[in-house]
Chains A and B, each alone.
Chain A
Amino acid sequence: QKEVEQNSGPLSVPEGAIASLNCTYSDRGSQSFFWYRQYSGKSPELIMSIYSNGDKEDGRFTAQLNKASQYVSLLIRDSQPSDSATYLCAVNVNGNKLVFGAGTILRVKS
């Protein structure tokens, strides 16, 4: 079992819709969870971090964490074509480093 799993996609949503990206992880001791956005040919850019169960909102982005289910998600409201990118879920394992999922490709169609 991979440590961090994501659906590779592509996930296609129409402009203005809500995009929902999901991630599961295997290490129950993980305490820190991150979402990165990576445009083609660019480096990963941190867009959200979450440490406690529940929801965390920042602008059009909402991160959701459920440690009991070992599940973290990212919702993007009012999706724009500029949101089209690969979204990487990252989880700390062994307390001291991040493991990244393979990423979900999001395509927002205008």
Chain B
Amino acid sequence: DAGVIQSPRHEVTEMGQEVTLRCKPISGHNSLFWYRQTMMRGLELLIYFNNNVPIDDSGMPEDRFSAKMPNASFSTLKIQPSEPRDSAVYFCASSPKGGAGTLYEQYFGPGTRLTVT
């Protein structure tokens, strides 16, 4: 089975530009998570979805960040406008089940390395 797929793998953009990161979760998984990883802050959860519905976006740093999941097989994380401090590796992960009170293993995609100059 294919794992979590992310695109692009690398993105270099200039400050002020819009950036869109894409994720395809593992087929049949009900939950999808977006993380950001930096040396300073480690791995941080930005937002997660259960059955395509956003459940917790408290980790989204500010209004410049938005995420959508229009269907069970696709999600986007958008940054508009981008800033140099957004430079990080962004991971998408999926989990086979979700819902209040349950939590199962999360499987990570390869990540998108974002550099904002």
A82 within 8 A of B: no
A99-B45 CB under 8 A given contacts A34-B105, A46-B105, A92-B103: yes
Is there an interface contact between B111 and A97, defined as CB atoms closer than 8 Å? no
A78 within 8 A of B: no
Specify the chain B residue showing the minimal Cβ separation from A34: B105
Is there an interface contact between B103 and A43, defined as CB atoms closer than 8 Å? no
Which residue from A32, A43, A90, A97 sits with its C-beta under 8 Å from B109? Answer: A43
Minimum CB–CB distance from B1 to chain A (whole Å) comes to 15
Q: How large is the interface on B (under 10, 10 to 19, 20 to 34, 35 or more residues)?
A: 20 to 34
Is there an interface contact between A96 and B45, defined as CB atoms closer than 8 Å? no
- Complex CA gap A36/B106 in Å reads 10
Residues of A within 8 A of B101 (CB): 95-96
The size of the chain A interface, using a CB distance under 8 A, is 22
Is there an interface contact between A100 and B42, defined as CB atoms closer than 8 Å? yes
Within 52-110 of A, Cβ neighbours of B (below 8 Å) are at 88, 90, 92, 95-103
Which residue from A45, A46, A95, A103 sits with its C-beta under 8 Å from B103? Answer: A95
Specify the chain B residue showing the minimal Cβ separation from A6: B42
Specify the chain B residue showing the minimal Cβ separation from A51: B103
B55 within 8 A of A: yes
Is there an interface contact between A96 and B43, defined as CB atoms closer than 8 Å? no
Is there an interface contact between A97 and B48, defined as CB atoms closer than 8 Å? yes
- Complex CA gap A88/B105 in Å reads 14
- Complex CA gap A107/B106 in Å reads 25
- Complex CA gap A12/B29 in Å reads 37
Specify the chain A residue showing the minimal Cβ separation from B91: A43
Is there an interface contact between B43 and A44, defined as CB atoms closer than 8 Å? yes
Which residue from B45, B48, B98, B106 sits with its C-beta under 8 Å from A46? Answer: B106
Specify the chain A residue showing the minimal Cβ separation from B95: A98
A31 within 8 A of B: yes
Minimum CB–CB distance from A85 to chain B (whole Å) comes to 14
